[in-house]
Structure 1
Amino acid sequence: DLKKAGLLIFANKQDVKECMTVAEISQFLKLTSIKDHQWHIQACCALTGEGLCQGLE
């Protein structure tokens, strides 16, 4: 039952100069229109591990 499930998005490749920002991703995915679920976008870099643990907290 996913009715109360949250949504976690890892925004990888944050070490790449041309990557989308968290705000741009939120706008592109229209996340602010989601009112009945909690959501979070976590900026991260898989190469360094930066942001990965924070997303799971």
Structure 2
Amino acid sequence: MDISALSIAMGQNAVKQAFSIGMLSKAMDSAEGQAAQLIQTMGSLDPNLGQKLDIKV
């Protein structure tokens, strides 16, 4: 393998790695937003909900 081919391959790998890191960052941001929404939803629930069970037959 000559120097120019090696340089091109290394450049392509750097671009692929940068793209992968960017996509991972976006996925982590999305998951963080979803987790914040879930925590907000769970915090607004009635804390006494489900404490008692009424059954009639």
TM range (shorter): under 0.3
Superposition TM-score, scaled by structure 2 size: 0.21
Normalised to the residue count of structure 1, the TM-score between the two structures is 0.21
- Higher RCO (CA < 8 A, seq sep 6+): 1
Query: Which of the two has greater helix per residue?
Result: 2
